[in-house]
Amino acid sequence: MVIAIGLALALLALYLFNPVVLLFAAAATCVLALAILYLALPLVLWNRTRISLNAEVTPLDPSGPGTDRQAYGSNDAQLAPDIFWEFAGEASLALLPLGYRPVGAVRREISPDIAASLISVFVHDSLRTLCFAMAAPTVRYPAARFAPAIVFTSVLDSGIVIETTNLELPVQFARLLPGWLVQWPGEKNVARLARLHADLLRRALPARAIPIDPAADAAALVRREHRAAWRRPAVAGLMREDVRRAVWRPTLPAAASMTWSRLWPIAHLQGARLAREAAAMQQVLDRDQRAGIDRSLDALRAEVERKAHFPLLGVAALAPGLVLGFIALNMSVGGPAWALLGTALAWTSARSRGRLPGWRTVLAGGLVGTAGLVASLLVVAVIARVPASGIWSMISEPALEGGLLPALIFSASLALVVGGYRAIVPPPAP
């Protein structure tokens, strides 16, 4: 909605009034709307969010994939059991050869405002690792939507928690708590994640994981992990325990962190950071394997964070691109319109061929649009029977007054903006 309002004001600026003034007004409106969201939503979340101290855990019957459908009210959410049982079967086939044993499957509900998760529990006794293969809710309102995810968790005797997961969304408070969460969004190879987690535990030596009770059933393990997972942010001062109501309540800074991580642009920036960290992790592991290097856990984490640093080159391209765009629109609207048309055609052509458009596509499209502007001027010159000596002046004067030159500047600005944005927020892996 915020972006739509900004675009509407931008179009009004292009056609009715001074482009730069009203484009600035549109940008200011977007910033004001985002500021209101960033201030108001944390207060709402802080007032409403309640996480049960003891999760409501119900065993599931694997013989009836559809037995849990009645727990979900919408058509989208009714797919959760099918998604869960299919993924749990795939996870079992991948984990059993690696030494994991299945413990059971449960339905976990931690809050009335959060859709329940379906969890299949696995344990690796020698690695002392707990594994959850789940159908986790990604959206609650207006309808719960689910995505398969897997989480490997080990608690070291030093108190540090090591987790490996393929959850799509950034995990709450992951960077504010001790330990290391390795998150590879969208990674579908369960065995690969399991081997990575085992490698991280090996690198953590001499610290060892705390043993898991071999007699505990799935419900007990899920309840224990729920209490431990929310007690860690409570110890860090991010959650408060309300014993009378038997709930966890977020502090105001925690509510702000939980809200802002789901809002644009922070959500996109955090997603980009996860993608960079996953790529850096893979690059470091591959390079160390070829060179025969065996880093400790701390050294590996430091190297991954160093390589996944914020791309300042993207900001260096994005900022001048925006400035050049404003300059081009202030000079003329017609020239940039031709460049934008060519860019749209080039973008659509690249997508139709299954290619991911980048800054080269944008620049080529802008130049094609500029060439279209020149061609249209030549057609007008021919129709008007302008003599050959006057054709150059007919083209050069609009260029100086705000035709061709703004189109070229706007083409360059679009290429810089797209290239800078892609450097900051890389596209998802195919």
Mean pLDDT by groups of 10 residues along the chain of 430 residues: 50 54 68 81 87 85 51 44 80 92 88 80 92 72 62 89 84 77 83 91 86 89 89 86 86 87 79 81 86 85 81 76 82 79 86 83 86 75 66 57 75 86 65
Extract the tokens encoding 80: 């959760």
Identify the pLDDT of residue 131.
93
3-state secondary structure of 64: coil
- Model pLDDT, residue 70: 44
- Tell whether pTM > 0.85: no
| pLDDT at res. 141 | 40
Per the document, the length of the chain is 430
pLDDT of residue 336: 82
Q: Where are the alpha helices (DSSP H) in 116-251?
A: 190-203, 218-235
CA-to-CA distance for 124 and 80, rounded, in angstroms? 26
Tokens standing for residue 299: 């050294």
Are residues 61 and 41 in contact, defined by beta-carbon separation less than 8 angstroms?
no
| In the chain, domain spans | 1-48, 51-247, 263-309, 312-424
Q: How much is the pLDDT for 341?
A: 85
A 10 A CB-CB count for 42 gives: 21
- Pairing outcome for strands 161-165 and 145-155: antiparallel
